[in-house]
Structure 1
């Protein structure tokens, strides 16, 4: 072959090979595929914008998503700052904007707006605001970037809002809910009152101030402080103190003072006063610290808020939702303002408690101002019938703000009336012995038929205890001493020995089965009961001491009352409920004691009254059963030699209420804890009637 022809042939083959190695050109997208790409791009931009909206990312929404026309008309100040300001005014805590794609595909093309139906919902200080809107996107070129951008206007903030509108939010304070007892007796209620005040131009002599101070039982300095506030003008009404309308005597005294004035006002009233104060708590003026935390929930500087007790614990349920009116004031001269949104205030709940207010009052009065605590529970349901701290204070004094001098007086009072004793825990002494007995019976460490020979008033296991002895009050109990006698005559030595028989581990587990070391399930914070400071029993001496409620054992009074429930109801201890609305009692602990063992303990607790040393509870009208206790305070500085007296009792023929009571400092009482038993007996008698 000719060399020239051979070269041409080789060149042709090379061209063919190179052509075979090249990638095939992409096929052009069909019109339908191009539309699908545009559709997904428009939806993706809408979804990205909605996500930023839900997170209130206004700056990024403006910078990356707003179309040029919207930016030119409204600017960053209106879009970002205005929305943030309005959201703050409304107390917006949550924004939820949703978009549901249409069931059938929509053709979005770059030469037409892309519309998306959205639903806007936001949680505000007075409840949710929601509305429907259309989110419109336009396809534009921004700095050589082509994409979809939002065409925005102020109706995206609130319907009918226009540029230049000044938004005002008016709040209506809700009617506060009330607390009533199981029989609908008022515990914390709204009532009428008169705000007593003065008009300075008519009230300017020392004599007037002194007379008004006496009538209101306040200091003249408090009147002068009110009159010297910066906003006061000579013709203004200056409020001094709120007086319930029912206190006509005080109002008559005030009316007799020239220059005074009275204006109707709402009043939070606590009809049972001191008897229920630590439980009900009270409302008072909101503090600066509280306002800082709660301002976005619609609280203002002049609002009242729950400050103690159930008023504080149930604030959300009692307060209700404030009403809100959102008004747009138009920029144009003479234009009428329009209401953009309005809802009525939602009243707080009326909460019905398990408390029997008359029983509570009876217990409080029986304690006669002596320092102590008491609780009453229904053994079949765990309902809290009473929860008392003594001495106490009048919660009505706190409603409009107690004076500094009066608060200091209460704070410095000898027996600390502001201190809530039912929330604390104390050494229970012999009142815990029925629980120890139940633990011993269930573990088999105590045989109720077996007696123990005990001689004298003092005992120790062996010489290793040094000078530490277990002592008992009565050494005239006939031997042998069995469980029945030990409970009737409250024999510390018997229970110390049986505590050692139970053993450290079983003792700890047994008390834990009764709720020791656990948080007490209750609406208010109560100090848990403890076995020892570190939860373990480090020696035989500590084990023996703990078995009869001494050592480092501490018990809350409500928990103590609850621990007697399984001894009466078949072995169950309920969570302490306080809301009557709860349908079924909630079991806290179960299978704590068998029926046979419970019957033994019930018999012994009745004999403790008829044959033992709780003679003050042995009254003819009620067949009372129960257990006394005397706790010797040895550990705390300044408490050496002091004793707290206990009695836990119930009507053995109709055990619808277990009452546990503790009185501090009974060491000077000749009959010791029997003194407390007499108080409980009087309450149970009145309760039966």
Structure 2
């Protein structure tokens, strides 16, 4: 008997029928969120054809309705796999790979010798590891279905299901494995390549249960005295420790992590004066090792070598939260990923985090890889190199650490920001090692506000603002270099007329002759109050807006906008007069003020401040022609004398080997004009006049609470200390 020839049937008129189904939905979406687009010829038959059933099956798949998918299986398939196992198998695979945007293209159908009708189709879908695409075939078989009256129907098509319907080559005992190759987070470096944030080592304190003292009556079956000692040394409750020890995975030889501590700096211990905190850490770890079962081992962590000296600048990372995952869908974050929370870690999160490598493969029950369905290679995060000079950053912190202050340091030739310092501060390593609730509460309740990032805020500039008023006066022509305002400006108390009531502008020193230069040297409030009145409110406001007031500073870090009034205009004569010497409602950010001071050595060009390092730094103008070269030179010559003149308020910063230009400022912070309980801010803006120095420096410092405590002299003395370290005096030959 001859073998019956296999029949093949194409269900289209002139050629093969092509049916395209696009399911544009994530499998986790609700059924209402799935979209199905079908184009096919009408069959003219009551029962659904195999291609239509495959379309329906995929529609249920898009909605995550695995039970409905199961209903389309033939009787034998349902005997082979239970509903529960079918639902679990499909859900675990499709949702595990985050399948989405599934697209099938039906190539045609053919009838097989066993009476089944096969549907050939191409499947394409998105996944965690990119696009997956494959050709597949699924068989359908006519099956008699009992009707409502108990009689059997003529038959309906049902799917003959096997695991390869999910993926070709997927066997019954095979699994679909998603593996992740974690990307290394990029480092943050200073201008010289020194580490500000990156890979470091910490000490992991753990417990080995099999080596601990046992006591059936003790917490968790362990010796209470040992657990209490451990609790006291680490600041973790006994309950917290026993909970870790009772985890399901823990065995007698397991190392159960309890807490991570700073790594002991062995080199520092050899120094003449070892760091006290390092000595205490060493003593703590030595005592911990006397408790039975305690083991201390090295562990890799994100490390911040400068700690509190650069915490507000560098920031820190933390583990992602559910809210983070919801906010950053499809960006590669896993439940145990970290994310930048503040500072440079947050600002450059996208560049630093990198892209995890992901591989989706079919593996046998023995773990052998059978077929790679899709893969994305790992891409480590970028290193970010900043213009920051670690040595200068530390020097400034050390000088100001006992005060509430902030300092901005720039290269006045290029606009590079060399340091951004905030005191007091916090140790960002504590966020990596694990900060106790007590420590977090103490930081937030500390009246000195160590968590406050002052160099992003704005403050009343006081007399450090007078050079800006001088520039506007010179630019408008309202004030000339020899302006003396009628020879009466040298008094120590002044008001325009009786309409000011009891309000007077006061100054500290009389001097002669009265002119712009001496007004800056002696820091005369009355002179600049009169200058502001003569310039006029409209021209003052116009001049300030030209200098970036009420605008964003073009800087990588977002800082507070400068203002000249709490309203849209300077409303009164008194407010205008006070604005002339940096009071009234005048507020400015230290980065902004430092940038404005670059106009003097750069003869009228305000440089744009920047943080990203360039191999060949070139100045970039923020405000071109902010003033004429001649006017910039007039102000700069006066600022040089503020430091060099024995009468100058910045004279204590004077050096014989380097010409410095600067201006002090003391700003009153009080609730009203009559408030006698307010505090004062002390300012000092100072820079090296010679831009051709190997390491030119411009520094603006603000110190809080200097009333009856030295005023701006506090900032002057501490700035002098920093300059002498950064630009050491040359030894005599």
1:457 aligns with 2:492: yes
1:653 to 672, 680, 690: 690
More helix by share: 1
On the 8 A contact 2:138/2:165 being kept in 1, the answer is no
Normalised to the residue count of structure 1, the TM-score between the two structures is 0.80
Structure 2 gap segments, 5+ residues each: 1-11, 41-47, 67-89, 112-117, 140-160, 214-221, 267-281, 729-733
How many residues align? The count is 621
Q: Are 1:643 and 2:680 matched, yes or no?
A: yes
Change (3 A) 1:676 1:162: same
Checking the alignment, whether the CA contact within 8 Å between 1:320 and 1:349 is kept in structure 2 is yes
**Counterpart of 1:614?**
650
Deviation of 1:262 (Å) = 2.9
Q: Deviations over 1:426-462 (max 9, x none)?
A: 1110111111111111111111133232142111111
Structure-2 change in CA distance of 1:185 and 1:639 (3 Å): farther
Q: Could you give the per-residue CA deviations for residues 170-223 of structure 1, whole angstroms, max 9, x where no partner exists?
A: 333321110010001110010233321113451533443454456xx63242x5
| Number of the residue aligned with 1:259 | 293
Q: Paired residue for 1:185, among 166, 188, 194?
A: 194
* 1:308–1:86 CA distance, 2 compared to 1 (3 A): farther
Q: Structure 2 residue aligned with 1:418, among 442, 445, 451?
A: 451
Deviates more, 1:129-138 or 1:562-571: 129-138
In 1: Cα distance, 2:352 partner to 2:300 partner: 16
Q: CA deviation at 1:86?
A: 5.6
Of residues 160-169 and 615-624 in structure 1, the stretch that sits farther from structure 2 once superposed is 160-169
Q: Does residue 585 of structure 2 align to residue 570 of structure 1?
A: no
CA deviation digits over 1:518-577, x for unaligned, max 9? 122333332111111113111111111111110111111111111111111132223321
Contact 2:23/2:62, CA 8 A, preserved across alignment: no
The answer to whether residue 235 in structure 2 is matched with residue 219 in structure 1 is: yes
**Alpha-carbon distance between aligned partners in 2 of 1:154 and 1:270, rounded to the nearest angstrom:** 50
Tell me how far apart the structure 2 counterparts of residues 226 and 424 of structure 1 sit (CA, whole Å): 42
**Does 2:681 align with 1:666?**
no
1:313 aligns with 2:347: yes
CA RMSD of aligned residues (A): 4.0
* C-alpha distance in structure 2 between counterparts of 1:293 and 1:445, whole Å: 54
Q: Distance in 2 between matches of 1:482 and 1:470?
A: 18
Change (3 A) 1:470 1:335: closer
Q: Secondary structure at the match of 1:667?
A: coil
Work out whether residues 23 and 102 of structure 2, in 8 Å CA contact, stay in contact via their aligned partners in 1: no
**Structure 1 stretches of at least 4 aligned residues deviating more than 6 Å after TM superposition:** 36-39, 53-58, 62-67, 82-85, 96-99, 108-118, 134-138, 152-159, 162-165, 636-639
Aligned match of 1:282: 316
8 A contact 2:490–2:511 mirrored in 1:
no
TM-score normalized by the length of structure 2 = 0.75
Within-5 A mapping of 1:527-566:
527-566=560-599
Equivalent-residue separation in structure 2 for 1:362 and 1:499 (angstroms)? 38
Partner SS state of residue 660, structure 1? strand
Question: Contact 2:132 / 2:374 at 8 angstroms: preserved in 1?
Answer: no
Superposed CA deviations along residues 55-96 of structure 1, whole A, max 9, x for unmatched, are 99995438777962573699355565378876654457x869
- Distance 1:155-1:677 versus aligned 2 partners, 3 A rule: farther
- For the residue of structure 2 that corresponds to 1:568, the secondary structure is coil
- Pairing partner for 1:228 from 229, 238, 243: 243
Q: More deviation in 442-451 or 481-490?
A: 442-451
- 1:243 correspondence with 2:261: yes
Matched, 1:633 2:649: no
Alignment of 1:313-462 (within 5 A): 313-328=347-362, 338=370, 339-452=372-485, 453=487, 454-462=489-497
Flag the 1:89–1:593 CA change in 2: closer, same or farther, 3 A: farther
Does residue 513 (structure 1) correspond to residue 546 (structure 2)? The answer is yes
- Is the 8 Å Cα contact of residues 279 and 388 (structure 1) preserved in structure 2? yes
* Partner residue in 2 for 1:470: 505
The question of whether the paired residues in 2 share the 8 Å contact of 1:432 and 1:549 is answered with: yes
